[in-house]
Chains A and B, each alone.
Chain A
Amino acid sequence: MELGKQVEARLTGRREAERQRRWERLWREYHPRIWRLTARLAGDPDLADDLTQEVALRALEGLDGFRSQSGEFTWLYRIAVNVVLGHRRRRSLETVGLDTPDAAHLPSSTPAPEASAVAAELAPVVRAALDRLPEELRTPLVLQVYEGLKYREIAAVLEIPVGTVMSRLHSARQRLREELEEYVL
């Protein structure tokens, strides 16, 4: 092989190895969070593995184009949100059932079976109400309530102003309050 080609091949190999290392570090660090996010946005932990896989593929494809301006976390979250929303649209479901038996009990700091039994009844109702929210209200709420993101972070992930995040969260809570009136009051 010509020297130039050898050098090129070695450089390509080195770049590829570096890319691979970068990818592994990134995915090792964020994989658990992305899994949780997809499970919560999809409303179904059973779907999370597949969706996380799709996020990984898209992120790997876009890794070369990613320049850390927006932050790895924001970038990956944005991909995950798009993957899940795309999935929900593809399934053309008005609502997605959220009743996952193993998650229906209220985590309690005391082993109180009675409280858990009540929550077992309420959890599907709450999930259904959450699921009936329009996507533009539901997604920021999931990011805030379950992922614990700050408004600024939500704004970065969804690419909307912070004020819009605040108003959407307000609307989402109002809607949920109306739907769950009997449980909230």
Chain B
Amino acid sequence: MSCEPIRTWLGAYRDGELSPLRHWRCRLHVRWCAECARELRALARLDTLLQAADVVPALALTKEVGRSRLGPPPGVTRSDTRSAEWNGVTFPTLPSSPVPAKSQRCHLILRTVLPVLVAFAVVALAFLPRRDSQGVPLERAVEALMRAPAWQSSHLVVRSRDGRTVTEQWVSLPHSLRTEVRRDGRLTEVTVQNERESWIYRAERNLAVHSNVRPYVPESHGVGAFHGPLNSLRRLRQSADRVGGVNVSERRVREADGRLLRVFTIAVDVARHHPGRELPADDGIRRDVVSLDARTGRLVRWEDRETGNRYEVDAYDVSPPVGTFTWQAPAGARMVEHGDWWKARAGRSVAAVENSTTRVVVHAVDLSAQGDVYLTVSKKSESGNDRITSWPARGMLMEDDRGRIYLHYQTSGMTSWPDTVALLAFTPLNPARKGDPPPRRVTVRLLPVHRPHTTPVDHARELLLARRLRVSAAATWAAPPVSPFDLFESPIGRTGFVDELRSRARRAYRADNPCGAFG
């Protein structure tokens, strides 16, 4: 079967919104078509990115939803939903032929339509939603979870499957957090943050970084991180209506301390609910066990059988021990101070350029150890839309005093910076060779507005030319240390990702400018 219609259905396939027949066709197709399977994985990745970029903070969600009754919208009944499943099913059309006599018509109907109907019925029976959600409906589990009252502080312990890695975490909203990871009882990682400062320690590097930047959002960590699973349960509830593959059971268990728990076991058929995702090793079923305090409704324990992690909330709203949110490096550890990138540049101005609508200030021009140039910029425009997100992600150009061209490949910023400040990264079109003199001045063509669907002429009107900007001496860092994590070697495993961005910028530029002109 051709990929063309399947491609347009893949999104709906992931959402569980296709008719059974189309669902089946998609499922078969992606099993043997590597391209479409890749497309499906890309859609999964896109969904993950979108979920991660939700503007409603985790805690806000928990608080808000906790006050609402979760359930299918009153306007949409179960019967409505069932009938919608058949929307969009296309039946094969019969080839046109001269109108036959009545007896022939009956015969024709028997010969053509009937087999189609029978085949369709067989397929429909095979792929009709299977309501194998036995025990309690998923609805009750989700509702129970989301009714938990909001908290201000929590103490969480996470144990790995083999029990060798234990993570302990204190959170006190809105700013404070302490996480300690122990492997076989030995301290391997520490992260501490309060409203003014933070410390990150990695034993394997014997390195501790102190900073006045707060790299964490505590409400998205620890217990707050259950936002993710909660969201997936919400989606699961919807797709379970269509494709089944979910079994939820509930039992009540009394803890040794006398607390009564509601224990939900949620078994999910991964192939049906997460097409394209790697299946769990044993039977393709992911099982989570969620325990709630029967009295308060708060989460007590979450056993993620897929990863083997076991989360236990030791306490809510209990004052943490004094000194929990400050830290002293162990004797012998190397201590490094992380400076605030933006604060160090906020008062400087290398250049200010403007057109009739926009004014851009270049606060600094930094050169990395490997030859990339970074511009720290802020802007003010008539539209008032000056946030970092209004800059293009790539596509600007720079030329140095020796005529070497640099390509813009990334726009980034930190959440702790003002939202009008952006860091623009440029890489040499031809990677620098050993012994090349560093650039002393650069001229850059800034395009301060992202307009993906306009012509180059429109772009030209908005270009701002910042001439002969002085470049700082080459730094020792390979990537700008904007976050305390950047002071650890190979930060966050991003190197490959950034390399790919650089390569893409070079390929795109060469495709458009085979002569390599600055323009």
Is residue A128 contacting chain B, with contact meaning CB distance below 8 A? yes
Stretch in B57-65, B128-136, B461-469 with 4+ CB within 8 Å of A: B57-65
The residues in B between 62 and 81 inclusive whose CB is less than 8 angstroms from any CB of A are 64-69, 73-76, 80-81
Check B304–A109 contact: CB distance below 8 A: yes
Check B217–A109 contact: CB distance below 8 A: no
Q: Mark A92-112, 1 if CB is under 8 A from B, else 0.
A: 111111111111111111110
Counting chain B residues whose Cβ lies within 8 A of the other chain, the interface size class is: 35 or more
**B408–chain A nearest beta-carbon distance, Å:** 13
Chain B residues within an 8 Å CB radius of A32: 64-68
**B401–chain A nearest beta-carbon distance, Å:** 30
Chain A residues within an 8 Å CB radius of B385: 93-97
Chain A residues within an 8 Å CB radius of B501: 182
Known pairs A120-B415, A152-B80; A99 contacts B191 (CB<8 A): no
Cβ-closest chain B residue relative to A114: B492
Check A150–B87 contact: CB distance below 8 A: no
Check A126–B483 contact: CB distance below 8 A: no
Count chain B CB atoms within 10 A of each CB in A71, A97, A119, A149 and give the residue with the most: A97
Is residue A3 contacting chain B, with contact meaning CB distance below 8 A? no
Cβ-closest chain A residue relative to B411: A125
The residues in B between 193 and 236 inclusive whose CB is less than 8 angstroms from any CB of A are 200, 215-217, 219-222, 224-229, 231, 234-235
Q: Mark B317-333, 1 if CB is under 8 A from A, else 0.
A: 00000000000000000
Chain A residues within an 8 Å CB radius of B200: 113
Bound: A151/B416 CA distance, A: 37
Q: Mark B162-180, 1 if CB is under 8 A from A, else 0.
A: 0000010100001000010
Check B87–A107 contact: CB distance below 8 A: no
Known pairs A31-B68, A96-B385; A148 contacts B49 (CB<8 A): no
Check A40–B17 contact: CB distance below 8 A: no
Check B87–A184 contact: CB distance below 8 A: no
Chain A residues within an 8 Å CB radius of B73: 71-74, 149, 153
Check A103–B228 contact: CB distance below 8 A: no
Is residue A70 contacting chain B, with contact meaning CB distance below 8 A? yes
Is residue A44 contacting chain B, with contact meaning CB distance below 8 A? yes
Check B53–A122 contact: CB distance below 8 A: yes
Known pairs A107-B228, A109-B229, A156-B76; A146 contacts B221 (CB<8 A): no
Chain B residues within an 8 Å CB radius of A60: none
Check B50–A105 contact: CB distance below 8 A: no
Check B75–A118 contact: CB distance below 8 A: no
Cβ-closest chain A residue relative to B73: A73
Is residue B388 contacting chain A, with contact meaning CB distance below 8 A? yes
Chain B residues within an 8 Å CB radius of A173: 11, 43, 46
Check A109–B226 contact: CB distance below 8 A: yes
Is residue B402 contacting chain A, with contact meaning CB distance below 8 A? no
Known pairs A39-B56, A110-B225, A151-B15; A74 contacts B304 (CB<8 A): no
**B205–chain A nearest beta-carbon distance, Å:** 13
**A173–chain B nearest beta-carbon distance, Å:** 5
Is residue B440 contacting chain A, with contact meaning CB distance below 8 A? no
Bound: A115/B492 CA distance, A: 7
Is residue A63 contacting chain B, with contact meaning CB distance below 8 A? no
Check B452–A132 contact: CB distance below 8 A: yes
Is residue A56 contacting chain B, with contact meaning CB distance below 8 A? no
Q: Mark B414-457, 1 if CB is under 8 A from A, else 0.
A: 11100100000000000000000000000000000110100000
Q: Which 7 A-B pairs have the closest CB atoms?
A: A71-B75, A97-B387, A128-B389, A73-B73, A32-B64, A126-B53, A152-B84
Given contacts A36-B61, A101-B217, A166-B12, 20 further A-B contacts (CB under 8 A): A29-B68, A29-B69, A32-B66, A71-B75, A94-B385, A100-B57, A103-B55, A107-B224, A109-B304, A117-B483, A120-B414, A120-B483, A122-B49, A127-B55, A150-B81, A166-B88, A170-B11, A177-B42, A184-B49, A185-B42
Offer 27 A-B interface pairs, CB within 8 angstroms, sorted by A: A29-B69, A35-B64, A36-B60, A39-B56, A71-B75, A94-B385, A94-B449, A95-B385, A97-B390, A102-B217, A102-B415, A103-B56, A105-B220, A106-B52, A108-B220, A109-B304, A110-B307, A111-B158, A116-B215, A120-B414, A125-B411, A125-B412, A145-B50, A156-B76, A167-B8, A176-B46, A176-B50
